[in-house]
Amino acid sequence: MKRRIAFVSPRFGEEIVGGAEAVVRDVALGLVERGWDVEVLTTCAVSPYTWANELPEGTEVDSGVLVRRFANVLATSASREHMVHGRIYAGESPTLDDQVTWLQALFRTPGLFEVLLKEGRSYDAVVFAPYLFWPTTVGMTVVAERAVVMPCLHDEVYAYLDVMRHVLSLPAAVWFLSGPEHDLAHRLGPVTPHHSVIGSGMDVPKEYHPEEFRSEYGLDGPFVLYLGRREADKGWPWLMDVFAGTKTPVKLVSAGAGHPDVPPRLRGRVIDVGYLTVEQRNNALAAALAYMQPSFMESYSRTVMESWLAGRPVLVRKGSAVVEWHCSRCDGGRSFGTSEELEEQLGILLADPKVANKMGSRGHAYVMENYQWPQVLDRIEADLESLGKPWDRAPHSEC
């Protein structure tokens, strides 16, 4: 008899760019291949900024996964929500009532909630990710005795809110993607006794063609690469300031979502190539001198793993716990916090290509030993088996 599992995520689809959403889709597809009966309950949103209903309600099948989409209800007047959000972002702690108002105003998905209420007990497990949004914070409470939360925590202001406390303490299980994420969760408050670090899996490309990327974009000299959203929460403005303070001949190539907003002083030194296909991205990683990760907001850092799979080292922001943790475990990268430190690290890599190649090789071995999908799915299935049947578990109380 097939085991039945549901995944609840605010966005879902091959075209969706986002760490948590990508992990959910990969795990869902992986469990289908292992014989699970998998459903995804999600919204009609594509944009993580507007949460507007851009996709039709209804069902579709995506590579063997039944996807059920439900419309979001957006606030008609967001004046109070904006005020509360401003206070939260400034580091204040509004009243719980104000926090609930902010959470409800962002978006709600009543149809999804209703399905969890009516059909939730038909699933052996219901996995929610990430922690921050209404489908998890509200929907998880309906099926807590069979809920697994994959929070994808960052050390950010939202994680410290009272309205988020139950997300880690109430479900049957919690899955973390890295050791530092696990440690952060325990600093925030109670965590359900059944929790583990499962990591995330990576698809290993069969081949790379770095010269194709160089030729396509007319890149002759050495460059470092940044992939992802060009926004403050991901460290993009900080990287611009730090890179501007260097005198390195190395260029910075960026690709991803959002307007890059390159300062005039860096034009010619920073090259934006916009959206890349998976093949182009892999070729870009293989062609780069190193990959740049300036973000503090990481729970796993998929792009760092992609760089190591391509055999290239990473240069990461000093103080970013997750990526520094990965680097310390495999010696596949170096950290920097100032322009002088970045220039020094780039100089070392330029002076001796063997240094970069060795770091990239160590990183590659680390990913292959720890983060291939068969390994991760084995850990997931073992954890689900250890939970037993949900009807044998009573909801536990916080302690």
* pLDDT surpasses 70 at 394: no
- The stretch 151-165 carries a mean pLDDT of 91
* pLDDT surpasses 80 at 65: yes
Determine the CATH number of domain 210-370: 3.40.50.2000
Q: What is the pLDDT of residues 90-100, one digit of tens each?
A: 777 788 888 88
Between 53 and 92, the more confident residue is 53
| Cβ burial, residue 394 (10 Å; 0-12/13-18/19+) | exposed
pTM value surpassing 0.85: yes
pLDDT at res. 232: 84
- The stretch 119-125 carries a mean pLDDT of 94
* pLDDT surpasses 80 at 82: no
What pLDDT band is residue 397 in, cutting at 50, 70 and 90? very low
Structure tokens at 244: 């501007």
- The stretch 216-234 carries a mean pLDDT of 91
Distance separating alpha carbons of residues 174 and 149, to the nearest angstrom: 5
* pLDDT surpasses 70 at 390: no
Q: What is the pLDDT of residues 288-343, one digit of tens each?
A: 999 999 998 888 999 999 999 999 999 999 999 999 999 999 999 999 999 999 99
Average pLDDT over the chain, rounded to an integer: 91
| For the chain, percent of residues with pLDDT exceeding 90 | 74
pLDDT at res. 156: 87
- The stretch 367-396 carries a mean pLDDT of 82
What pLDDT band is residue 391 in, cutting at 50, 70 and 90? very low
Sheet of 147-149, strand order? 58-62, 65-70, 37-43, 4-8, 125-128, 147-149, 173-176, 195-197
pLDDT at res. 399: 29
pLDDT at res. 104: 82
Other C-beta atoms lying within 10 Å of the C-beta of residue 386: 10
Where are the domains positioned within the chain?
4-72+107-201+373-392, 210-370
Between 256 and 5, the more confident residue is 5
* pLDDT surpasses 90 at 125: yes
What pLDDT band is residue 392 in, cutting at 50, 70 and 90? low
Distance separating alpha carbons of residues 8 and 24, to the nearest angstrom: 9
| For the chain, percent of residues with pLDDT exceeding 70 | 94
pLDDT at res. 208: 97
Other C-beta atoms lying within 10 Å of the C-beta of residue 335: 19
pLDDT at res. 261: 82
What pLDDT band is residue 123 in, cutting at 50, 70 and 90? very high
What pLDDT band is residue 398 in, cutting at 50, 70 and 90? very low
What pLDDT band is residue 275 in, cutting at 50, 70 and 90? confident
Which residue shows structure tokens 């909801």?
Answer: 395
Between 75 and 53, the more confident residue is 53
Determine the CATH number of domain 4-72+107-201+373-392: 3.40.50.2000
Q: What is the pLDDT of residues 35-44, one digit of tens each?
A: 999 999 999 9
pLDDT at res. 396: 45
What pLDDT band is residue 79 in, cutting at 50, 70 and 90? low
- The stretch 45-69 carries a mean pLDDT of 93
pLDDT at res. 284: 97
pLDDT at res. 77: 60
Pick from 63, 39, 31, 126: nearest CA to 380: 31
Q: Give yes or no on whether 4-72+107-201+373-392 and 210-370 have one common fold.
A: yes
Between 259 and 238, the more confident residue is 238
- The stretch 4-24 carries a mean pLDDT of 88
CA 393 to chain centre: 30
- The stretch 189-194 carries a mean pLDDT of 96
State which H helix or E strand residue 149 sits in.
strand 147-149
